[in-house]
Structure formats: structure tokens, C-alpha cells
Structure 1
């Protein structure tokens, strides 16, 4: 029984290591540039062992994207629960996204367009997150950072469209994420801010210049 438990523990550890290593390689080189052989060689395991755990690259990519997406969401959720105001959450999320893009080859995002299962997953995630985002915006109204004369259901739809536009037009291949966030996202966000909220955004943008 102990031997079976040890095998199970080892296999789970290896599965986690495969996900972590493969995602780093995908982010460094792009998805299409990384073969299953490359992943097996990086981990010093046989290709057969790799395929026993993940039978193809799409499943491996899907599991990796889902895991790391969930980790980031949990981090933002924790910050949201523990933060005293919505502006702290927004600036944390901004820094997180910028840092992630800074260490990711743009080909990773354009390659992902070739995987319908992953695109469908993100579409579903965005649908599930929509109501939460609307609640978040209303929290900002209650805290005095967002205007109270705005239809936030429409605003949430606008930000959904903005995100899809940035990815579909591959703006990340032409501009840094700092430029995209500052010139598209922050400009749109500033429009719903009260003077109190706008002052915080302006100070943040000034400090990072």
C-alpha cells in the first residue's frame, strides 16, 4: 500500500513539474516552436513517460493554461478580499499582467489562436467573470472611486470587447503591455472614475514614467 502511495505521489509531482516546465518553455519560445521531445529532454524523462501523463500537446497546453489562469485569478481574488479599496486591486492586476507579458514571447499568444478548445475555455471564463466584474465596479462606486451615473453592465461589456480586440489584433506584437494599458485600458477606466479615482490613476502613471 505504501509503495502504491509513493508511486501516486511521484506521479502527481511529475505531472506538476511537466506543467510548470512546459508552460515556461511555451512562454519563452512560443507554443508551436516547442515539441513534446523538447519537453521530455528538458525534464530528462522519456517521451513515453510524457505521453503516459499527457497524451498530446494540446491537452498539456490546456491543463497548463487552466492551472496558471486559476492561480492568477486566486491571487487577484485574495488581493480583492484583503484590499481596502478597488484602486489597489486594479493596480495590482495591472502590474501582474504587465509582468506576465514582459516574460512571454508574443508568439505564445498568437499560437494560442490555433487551439479552439483553449479559446472556448477563455470565452467561458470571461462569461463567468462578467457578473463579478460588474459587482467590482459597483464596489468602486460605493467607495467613491467610480461615478454613480454610469451603466456598469455596458462598461463591463466594453472592457470585454477591449480585451478581445487587443488579442485578436495582436497589438502586443507592436506595443508593450504598458503602452496598451496606459493608452487604451487606463484611458477607458479613467472615464468612469470620480476625481478621487482619477487622481490615483494619474499619480500611478506619473510615478512609473
Structure 2
């Protein structure tokens, strides 16, 4: 019985290592450029072992992205627990996104559209984010950082459209993530901020310059 438990623990640990290694390679080289053989070779395991744990590349990519998102959500949840205001949350997300995109090849975003299961999962995640944004906007209004006259539904559509624009126009392939966020996202954000919110944004951007 103990041997079975040890084997199960080993396989679970190996699954995690495979996910981490695969996502690192996907981000660095693009998804298409990385073969299942490459991942197995990097970990010094057999291709057979790889396929026993993950049927194909799409399953591996799906599980890797899901695991990554869950980890990010947990980190954000921990960050928010400290009675953080909306501006602190936005600026923290900015730093996370800059770090994330800095180490991700444009090919990754080009390739990901070829995987329907992954795209369906990402769309579902976006739907959940759109629902959460309404509560976030309300929190910002109560804290005095967002204007009281904003239309929550329209603002939600605006920021969701910016995210879609980033992918559809392949802005990630032509501009740095800092340029995109500073010239599109932050300008839009500035429009819904009060003077109090604008002062926080300006101070942050000045420190980044």
C-alpha cells in the first residue's frame, strides 16, 4: 500500500514538473515549435511516460494554462486580503502583466488560437472576469478613485474590447507591453478616475519613467 502511495505521489510530482517545463518552453519558443519529445528530453523521461500522463499537446497546454491561472488567482487573492484598494490592485496587475509578457514569445499568442479547448477555457475565464469587473468598479467608486457617473456595463465592454484588440491586432508582436498598457489601458483607465485616482496613476507612471 505504501508503495502505491509513493508511486502516486511520484506521478503527481512528475505531472507538475511536466506542466512547468512545458509552459516555460511554450512561452520561450512558442507552442508550435515545442514537440512532446522536446519536453520529455528536457526532463530526461521517456515519451511513453509523457503520453501516459498527457494524451497530447493540447491537453498539456490546457492543464498548464489552467494551473497557471489558478496560481495567479491565488496570489491575487492573498494580495487583496490586506485591505488593498482598487488602485493598488490595478498597479499590482500591471507589474504582473509586464513580467509575464516580457518572458513570453509573440509566437505563443499566435499559436494558442489553434487549440479550441484552450480558447474555450480562456473565453470562459474572460466571462468570469467581466462579471467580477462590475463589483470592482463599484468598489472603486466607493473608495473615491472612480467617478460616480460611469456606466458599469459600458466600461466593462470597453476594457474587454481593449483585451481583444491586443490579441486580434497582434499588438504584442509590434509594441512592448508597457507601451500598450500606458498608451491604451491607462489612458482609458484615467478617463474613469477621479482626481484622487489620477494622482495615484500619475505618481506611479512618473516612478516608472
Residue 119 of structure 1: how far off its partner (Å):
1.0
Q: Secondary structure of 2:184's partner?
A: helix
TM-score norm. by structure 2 comes to: 0.98
Residue 174 of structure 1: how far off its partner (Å):
0.2
Quick one: distance in 1 between partners of 2:131 and 2:27?
30
Aligned to 1:77: 77
Quick one: distance in 2 between partners of 1:77 and 1:59?
27
- Correspondence 1:102 to 2:102: yes
Aligned to 1:148: 148
Unmatched runs of 5 consecutive residues or more in structure 2: none
Q: Secondary structure of 2:193's partner?
A: coil
TM-score norm. by structure 1 comes to: 0.98
Pick which of 40-49 and 75-84 moved more.
75-84
Residue 84 of structure 1: how far off its partner (Å):
3.0
1:86-101 equivalent positions in 2, closer than 5 A: 86-101=86-101
Quick one: distance in 1 between partners of 2:147 and 2:159?
16
Quick one: distance in 2 between partners of 1:49 and 1:58?
17
Q: Deviations over 1:83-129 (max 9, x none)?
A: 43110000000000010000111111111011111111111111112
Aligned to 2:17: 17
Report how many aligned residue pairs link the two structures.
Answer: 209
Do the aligned partners of 1:83 and 1:89 also contact (CA within 8 Å) in 2?
Answer: no
1:169-180 equivalent positions in 2, closer than 5 A: 169-180=169-180
